[in-house]
Chains A and B, each alone.
Chain A
Amino acid sequence: MYGFHGRLLHVDLSSGQSSWSDIEQSRLREFLGGIGLGTSLLYDYAPPGVDPFSPANPLIFASAPLVGTGLTTTAKFAVVTKSPLTGFIADSLSSSYFALELKRIGLDALIITGRAAAMGYIFIQNQNVEIHPAEHLRGKSPVDTESVIRSELNSPLARVAAIGKAGENKVRFATISNEGRHAGRGGVGAVMGSKNLKAIALCGDHAIAVADLAGVDNIAGALRERSLSSLTDKYRKIGTVANLAVFNRLGTLPTRNFQRSTFDNADALSGETLTENNFSRRHGCAACTIQCERLFKALDGGEQRLEYETLFALGPLCGIDDPQSVLQAAQLCDVYGMDTISTGGTLAWAMECGEKGLWPEAQNLGLAFAQPEGILAAIAAIAERKGVGGLLAEGSRRAAIEIGGESMHWAMHVKGLEFPGYEPRSLKTMALGLAVSPRGACHNRSGAYEADFSGDVDRLRTDSKRGSLVAASEDFAAALDSLIICKFLRKCFTDFYREGADLLSKVTGWDYSSAELKRAAERIHNLKKLFNMREGWRCEDDWLPERVLSETLPTGIAQGVGLSADELREMIQQYYRARGWDEQGNIREEKLRELGLPADGSSTFQT
């Protein structure tokens, strides 16, 4: 078999048993790998209505056909489960050597269910699966955990993914971390913690075969060249932190819990200033020519990875303009294994509650806008679930329900997932993308903002084109996330579906057309939605927080711009129509049949 191994490993932590089985060729062809394969397995393996922290909730690691082929930016893997933050699908990506090792184990997917009686970690060496005790690793950071496990396995080349204290304590936005990177969004680390699983260590030596080696090499060479052209200048020369200054100027930088879309001292935190004053080194994932990662010097003499989302969430969103404070907060999140976006979003919500007198505990903890000490204390409290940290560890939606009153109006989430750093009122296509995303307020499973920055639409106004733009963007993301190709390479394709299908054909030996790839992408996105429908999704879940719909932006270029409920409703209807769904946002039976998805609640595949 080319591109895939066609094998799946299921580890049940409750019994300590593991089993290998074949994956249907048709499943691979229809859902590819990564997010697509993970979603299809989630749909089949998760009991309907399962509690995310139940042992029965499967935690799925999925590889992909392009992983290990030498193509730039493809060393990635997906983690898919039912999210404890949203109650819907959590589909996260992470990258680098762990991704390569996962494939070298000789599998396409690892499914973990059950709950270990005591904290443990799984060690997989090709066919051999062992569960090791890990009580001695409790409380350790993911980076320290990786190091200890390698040492005690006497396997310096083992690749490890681990949770930190936040995952152990089931903080609902805990991450799974490997080599300093994270499967970040939706609380996949909390699900891992709920299974008493501290880490997964991998060591494999299976070769990865492709059908047409010369053909793949040709495409790999061309993509490598394009990846080093000016098309990726931003990622190669400054990193995603470049977004901050320009977003601020365009009035799209969420500030002080989305009270404003400009930040007074954005210059102090801009990517340009950080590069001038704090740059330490450039780094990247395995097999990547872009090397987007930037590490900046911290005051303690160390260095800290920083990208735009972390910078925005722990900076302007919380009113912080001191780079060292942001670096310190980011470092703490990494040590505990917490999603920086949800951390910043939840803290900013708490700050506003404190500011408005709704939650005095916030101020007791020192949580107030522009007060870095309070943030650092709160991050530790969340990870430990100590004091009010226990409430904040639930994320902004649950915390706002607990606090009550108007606090729900400024809990900036969709489906429970906190907003990324894109102001929806001044990016109208993105507003729709955020509202309807199956994952919640997400900038990765669709890149709807691209339309707003393209000049093809007026980003400050709504119009009838947005529904189809968002649907197309989601499908594009589904294809990239399932092949898997990093989104930072997306501009290097001239006709993505044609080139992607050609690549897939050369890797797998299938005769795969661009139409089939497009259809697979649509199928994958629809299955995410179908999963959410099964788990209780209602039309009201595709919506934006009250703040967005009732307050206009007070500053900057977009001053006075808002988004009305009617405008959002109309865009959502356009989107449902573009998707071929009914007016309530349910997938019609004929659409399910057309895509080969189960119309009767049965599994996607009868195995």
Chain B
Amino acid sequence: MNRPYNGIMDDPQMIADATAVVLAGGKSSRMGQPKALLPFDGEPLIAHIVGRLGHVFAETIVVAAPDQELPPLPVALVRDQVAYQGPVSGIYHGLTAATKEVCFVTSCDAPFLNLALISHLVSQIADSDVVVPFWQERFQPLHAVYRRSVAPLLHDQLERDDLRPISLYPKVRTREIYEDKVRRFDPEGLSFLNMNTPEDYQEAVRRWHNKKNRELEIAPADGISVSVELFGVARLLAKTKSVSLSLPQDATLANVFSALAERLPILLGRIINSNGLISGYTCNINGLDFVRTPSAKVNSGDKIFILSADAGG
């Protein structure tokens, strides 16, 4: 049924003004079959990743190897000129093709994209050329944000046959996002989990199923469960009244917002951003306390209402 236009989705600025670049042109030699086409949650892995990114980015570019087979995707497709030249080449071609100034770059074998974390990384680019997470003593260049303006430097690296993305970082304004900050959005660092072998793939599929099952559980053994009730614009956007969320012990509202963004990406940028609720929204815990502070503690069984901060009428 055609519904009348009701103005709910009339804020295009809520989508990140940035491009997502997915590098898909790897050899997949240890996997034994093309990673991009591995079945994941009922669809090819590349489609799963592109679908997730579509919630946040207005534009997505897939960088593939020459002649690489891909399913139909709602993306701009770019082919490496030389096959298997590594990530620097992929990033370079992605940045060159992007129409936006800022690009989030990831690979096609990292299925656990955390949209709240990605949104936070993009929001940190203001005075930098690169924003890169530093997780467990390592940079994560294939889960990082790059300005298009660094493309010539990457080209120079390719000329010099320097194929390590991290060589770029000392030459530009690089902002590192440390582990404590990453954990606010992604406590287990699943965002950086990629798959190189069939065993990695099996493990990722298992984790994905567990994650989905956990979302349906009432009270997980190793964490807490809360329910989030949506009102007003949030309800109309999400097309649901409430969701249950599984959270770690000692969870705070920041965890709630992050998990909510994961579950209902449509709220990202419109109701929730990387700092919590956007201006104009508030939340109430159990109908009693109105709180916005992300550090506020939540307890198992809490009912968290997301509503307008304005009660006028």
Docked pose: A238 CA to B270 CA in angstroms: 14
Using CB atoms, name the residue of chain A closest to B310: A234
Docked pose: A488 CA to B313 CA in angstroms: 9
B236 within 8 A of A: yes
Say yes or no: B288 contacts A460, CB within 8 Å. yes
Contact status of A242 and B309, CB under 8 A, knowing A230-B279, A276-B3, A279-B4: no
Q: Which of A229-260 contact B (CB under 8 A)?
A: 229-238, 240, 242-243, 245-246, 249-251
A282 within 8 A of B: yes
Tell me which residues across on chain B come within 8 A of A386, comparing CB atoms.
none
Cβ-neighbour of B313 out of A240, A275, A455, A490 (below 8 A): A240
Cβ-neighbour of B312 out of A229, A275, A488 (below 8 A): A488
Say yes or no: A246 contacts B305, CB within 8 Å. yes
Using CB atoms, name the residue of chain A closest to B305: A249
Say yes or no: B312 contacts A246, CB within 8 Å. no
How far apart are B29's CB and chain A's nearest CB, in angstroms? 48
Tell me which residues across on chain A come within 8 A of B233, comparing CB atoms.
233-234, 237-238, 242
Docked pose: A272 CA to B307 CA in angstroms: 12
Centre residue among B279, B290, B308, B313 by max chain A CB count within 10 A: B313
Say yes or no: B280 contacts A251, CB within 8 Å. no
Say yes or no: A275 contacts B281, CB within 8 Å. no
Say yes or no: A487 contacts B312, CB within 8 Å. yes
Docked pose: A487 CA to B225 CA in angstroms: 39
Docked pose: A557 CA to B290 CA in angstroms: 14
Cβ-neighbour of B7 out of A243, A282, A449 (below 8 A): A282
B291 within 8 A of A: yes
Docked pose: A447 CA to B313 CA in angstroms: 10
Say yes or no: B287 contacts A249, CB within 8 Å. yes
Say yes or no: A491 contacts B280, CB within 8 Å. yes
Tell me which residues across on chain A come within 8 A of B4, comparing CB atoms.
279-281
Tell me which residues across on chain A come within 8 A of B11, comparing CB atoms.
230
Say yes or no: A455 contacts B289, CB within 8 Å. yes
B231 within 8 A of A: yes
Q: Is the interface of A mostly helix, strand, loop or mixed?
A: helix
Q: Which of A545-594 contact B (CB under 8 A)?
A: 557-558
Tell me which residues across on chain A come within 8 A of B292, comparing CB atoms.
455
Say yes or no: B290 contacts A238, CB within 8 Å. no
A271 within 8 A of B: yes
B278 within 8 A of A: yes
Tell me which residues across on chain B come within 8 A of A2, comparing CB atoms.
none
Tell me which residues across on chain A come within 8 A of B305, comparing CB atoms.
246, 249-250
How far apart are A150's CB and chain B's nearest CB, in angstroms? 30
Q: Which of B269-313 contact A (CB under 8 A)?
A: 270, 278-282, 284, 286-292, 305, 307-313
Q: Which of B178-235 contact A (CB under 8 A)?
A: 229, 231-233, 235
Tell me which residues across on chain A come within 8 A of B136, comparing CB atoms.
none
Centre residue among A272, A309, A454, A488 by max chain B CB count within 10 A: A272
Say yes or no: A234 contacts B280, CB within 8 Å. yes
Tell me which residues across on chain A come within 8 A of B312, comparing CB atoms.
240, 447, 450, 487-488, 490
Centre residue among B4, B229, B278 by max chain A CB count within 10 A: B4
B82 within 8 A of A: no
Tell me which residues across on chain B come within 8 A of A236, comparing CB atoms.
7
How far apart are A584's CB and chain B's nearest CB, in angstroms? 32
B2 within 8 A of A: no
Docked pose: A281 CA to B311 CA in angstroms: 22
Tell me which residues across on chain B come within 8 A of A458, comparing CB atoms.
288
Docked pose: A230 CA to B280 CA in angstroms: 5
Beyond A245-B231, A272-B232, A455-B291, list 13 extra A-B contacts (CB 8 Å): A229-B279, A230-B11, A230-B281, A234-B232, A242-B232, A245-B235, A246-B231, A271-B232, A282-B6, A282-B7, A309-B313, A557-B286, A558-B287
25 pairs, CB–CB < 8 Å, chain A vs chain B = A230-B11, A231-B310, A233-B308, A234-B280, A238-B8, A240-B312, A242-B231, A242-B308, A249-B229, A250-B284, A272-B231, A272-B236, A275-B236, A279-B6, A280-B4, A307-B313, A447-B312, A449-B311, A453-B311, A455-B289, A488-B310, A490-B312, A491-B309, A557-B288, A558-B287
A-B pairs, 8 with minimum CB distance: A455-B290, A240-B313, A557-B287, A308-B313, A234-B308, A230-B280, A242-B232, A453-B311
